[in-house]
Structure 1
Amino acid sequence: MFTCFQKRPGAPWLLLALGVICPLIAGFAHAQANGGRSVYEARVTRVSDGDTLWVQPLDGGRYRKLRLDGLDAPEICQSGGEASRDALAARVLRQVVTVRERSQDDYGRALVRLQHGGEDVGAFMVLQGQAWSYRWRHSDGPFAQEEAQARAQKKGLFAAASPELPRDFRRRHGPCPLPPRP
């Protein structure tokens, strides 16, 4: 694949630069081989709300805060927010999942697709009526069929006549206040 240059006498700056550049190139090549994504196994350690959770990679490393890609769950202080969080926790908390990172959101969380037991966790959440398929411009999002099915069956959020989208809730109320630290 990629090879780094060998040591050259009298050029310590070159060694330092290569020590930084070579791992970056190798990491880029690995990401390209995985379709630009980082894929790993992890254990879910905490669920913050219906689309945000923390994991510990099985191969070690630091805990990571993740956001499920392709869906939008209610804010925790919004109607249905706690039920959405509890549904996600019941499905994956303390479980081993496959994480496919796509990019990062504006808050520094990795945007991910999670697999658990051969099932896409985002599709599961929308199908259970615990989140909306994330709409973008003129698209109904990646889980539009799951949302249509949950609406037809009046599951979860869709049991209400007109549940409020999280982005509309945030626009009206701002973000949920953080709970006090114990």
Structure 2
Amino acid sequence: MGLLVQTPAVAQPRSKEPPGAFRPQAPQVYEARVTRVFDGDTLWVKPLEGGKYRKLRLDGLDAPEICQTGGTASRDALAARVLRQVVTVNERQHDHYGRALVHLTHRREDVGAWLVLSGHAWAYHWRYSEGIYAGQEGKARTQRKGVFAESDAEVPRDFRRRHGPCPLP
């Protein structure tokens, strides 16, 4: 009769993170051409060094939803500024939709700061932080620019909570 030899099971290290959890990555900076502007904070670029098109989400701000008051104006302002232009992309991480969260510069100007200062987006507030564009939002509010011209303008986060996502065109 043969002897059965059992090898002990090797314990595999277990991740303490749930599947699909955010995992930080090293920031990535590259030049790209803007090929499409979807709304006031989402766009597509083609890296100049080659590679696949990338869907990006501007970090630090929240633009009106496309079906929300100010949504098309926000998209059109961003498109007028950067569509078909070369920009510098600074990727920080990815959101739960797979979009890279980025800071974008065009001709040495922070595109996110410009959008908020022009009244086309709110500074993104997180917990106790007023956000990196709080100063620009304050100026746009004082000057009643864009979405801040209306005293009852609804923050996109609240709009999404009440109405859900905009229907696709």
TM-score (norm 1): 0.79
Q: Aligned match of 1:158 in 136, 148, 167?
A: 148
Normalized per residue, which structure has more helix? 1
Aligned residue in 1 for 2:65:
75
Q: Which runs of 5+ in 2 are unaligned?
A: 1-23
Matches within 5 A, 1:5-154: 36-154=26-144
Q: CA deviation at 1:161?
A: 1.1
CA distance in 2, matches of 1:143, 1:162: 20
Whole-Å Cα distance in 2 between the matches of residues 111 and 143 of structure 1? 15
Q: Please give the secondary structure, in 2, of the residue aligned with 1:115.
A: strand
Q: Cα distance, 1:162 vs. partner?
A: 1.8
Q: Structure 1 CA distance, aligned partners of 2:118 and 2:165? A: 24
* Larger relative contact order, structure 1 or 2 (CA cutoff 8 Å, min sep 6): 2
Per-residue deviation, residues 98-132 of structure 1 (Å, max 9, x unmatched): 00000001100000000001100000000000000
Following the alignment from structure 1 to structure 2, what is the Cα–Cα distance between the partners of residues 138 and 40? 31
Q: How many percent of aligned residue pairs carry the same amino acid?
A: 73
Aligned length: 146
Deviation string for 1:24-74 (max 9, x for gaps)? xxxxxxx98xxx201000000000000000000001100000000000000
**Corresponding residue of 2:163:** 173
Cα RMSD of the aligned pairs, angstroms, is 1.2
- The structure 1 segments of at least 4 consecutive aligned residues displaced by more than 3 Å after TM superposition are none
**Partner of residue 8, structure 2:** none
Task: Identify unmatched segments of 5+ residues in structure 1.
Answer: 1-30
Residue 76 of structure 2 aligns to a residue in which SS?
Answer: helix
Looking at structure 1, the residues matched to 134 and 126 of structure 2 have their Cα atoms a distance apart, in angstroms, of 12
